[in-house]
Amino acid sequence: MATMTATKTEPNMTEPKTLESNVTELKLTEPELTDHGALWRQEWADAQKTKGPGLKGGSVFYRNIEEELDLARQTGGGLPLHLPSHTMDFSTCDVLGLGQTGALREEFLKELDANPGFPITAGGSRLCDGTNRYHDNLEREIAELVGVESALVVHSGYTANQAIWSTVPRAGDVLVYDELMHATALAGMKVSLALEQKPFRHNDLDHFIEILEELKEISPLIKGGKRCVIIGVESYYSMDGDICPLREMIEAAKDIFPNGNAQFIVDEAHSFGCMGPNGGLGFLKDQGLEDEVAVIMITLGKALAAAGACILSDNTIRSLLINQAKVMICSVVPSFPLSAAGRAGFRVLRSEKAQKAREYLHDLTLFYLDTLTSNPIYKKANAKGFLRMPVHEDGDWHEVPITHIVPIWCKPKHAYYLSFHLVRDGINGTPIVFPVVARGEDRVRIFLHAHNTYDEVKFLVKSICAWAEEMMEIEASGDKNRLPTAARLAYDLLENK
């Protein structure tokens, strides 16, 4: 089966692409035998090689580790670090294209020029002479921009969530959180002083209310306003691409706990920079809810295209984190280059370029959903369960808020098959399977970006539907041992090891 390929010109590195330039920038060619996935497949195949049997009689320490890793390898679940081989990006977190277009680099170099003699070394932890005037000014600028008392810049979203969830909930409090909260938040909860922790079904307002009412009835200290319910949600959910019904949750929590002892912590990793007023300041700002939550976590490595994260709160929470968050106390401060990249990202975020990129990304997402779902092959594959988009099954994306996160759900094992196919066509589709998601919810996660063109999106749809058509042909043949072409190339490597 021939694989599709495409040619395109280099993107403009200083200006965001307009709708018109994106429509004409990429020209699809006739199918050719170009295979972009050979390196990716080899890396995957190498990662599936079992190693435990070769360590018989060796160190039990390493043998036990390898034997545990072999459990995943035996089912094709060994995870390698892939070197880039794609020609079209539908996976990275650079959603506004600030990295791809060079806009962040340009502003970052200006920041370096404005700070001659800048230090490379971090110097120490925040409490041990690591905090300098540059860090202090950066955090004050972010706090003023977003409209909060405090901003604490840390190395990553993991650091931020670990600090928040291990420290903010106090002994006797209860954690109530969406079952699809990010793994980094769940890791923080595991070492929280709040031992009682209750998940609610994803975005299920009724179940959320049911849990709050139950807590009010069974806990006199919470009912009396002596202890708190700490509620964790995300604005945009990174694996499903749907949006939290936060306003309704806040209203319900206020009604059930009028003493104000139900407090929200919101992860805005995937929404900050992509939406909202005054430079894309996020979901909470867009909804006018920023004063209704206790803590906001934002990352600097997605829409801002830099690295690190920031904890937004009042000064009470700031003091608590500085004094008791071990992950901050025991870590050196973010280095100057990391902080400077974040500062540059915030500046670009407020530019006209970034605003045009946000508007374009929204329009591109609508175009993708329209193009994919109107394809007759998609309609057949969707009816047979080969391709699904649960968040968009109602077809109302022109009437409701949407995100740039548009995963394709597949049948079990098919996420890898679709990924092999996309990578062969030059698209970096990422398979997401258990235990990252629940069993039976395998998917390929697709991110749309402001640096993607309309023709690239057409090509993505064409590739997805070509794979689905092949899968339906295999099903119709009745041959249960037959693999789709791109997957066969990958599994042949296993057989030839």
Q: Which residues partner with 27 through β-bridges? A: 7
3-state secondary structure of 481: coil
Under 8 Å between Cβ of 379 and 465:
no
Q: What confidence score (pLDDT) does residue 116 get?
A: 93
Residues 6+ apart with CB under 8 A from 229: 173, 174, 175, 176, 212, 215, 222, 253, 257, 261, 262, 263
Burial of 321: CB neighbours in 10 Å, binned 0-12, 13-18, 19+ = buried
Angle, nearest 10°, between helix axes 38-47 and 485-495?
40
Q: What confidence score (pLDDT) does residue 222 get?
A: 95
Assigned token pair, 398: 């022109």
Q: What CA dihedral angle connects 387, 390, 91 and 334, to 10 degrees?
A: -160
Q: Which residues partner with 26 through β-bridges? A: 8
pLDDT digits (tens, 9 = 90+) for 113-147: 999 989 888 889 989 988 999 999 999 999 999 99
Phi, psi of 99 (to 5 degrees): -80, -45
Q: What confidence score (pLDDT) does residue 129 get?
A: 86
CA distances from 107 to 113, 114, 159, 179, 269 (A): 10, 11, 26, 39, 22
Residues in the chain predicted with pLDDT less than 50, given as ranges, are 1-31
Q: What confidence score (pLDDT) does residue 338 get?
A: 95
Under 8 Å between Cβ of 372 and 378:
yes
Residue entry with tokens 């295999």: 474
128: DSSP letter: I
Assigned token pair, 62: 């390493």
305: DSSP letter: -
3-state secondary structure of 174: strand
Under 8 Å between Cβ of 442 and 431:
yes
Residue entry with tokens 């047979």: 384
Q: What is d(CA 365, CA 457) in angstroms, rounded to the nearest whole number?
A: 9
Q: What is d(CA 142, CA 82) in angstroms, rounded to the nearest whole number?
A: 34
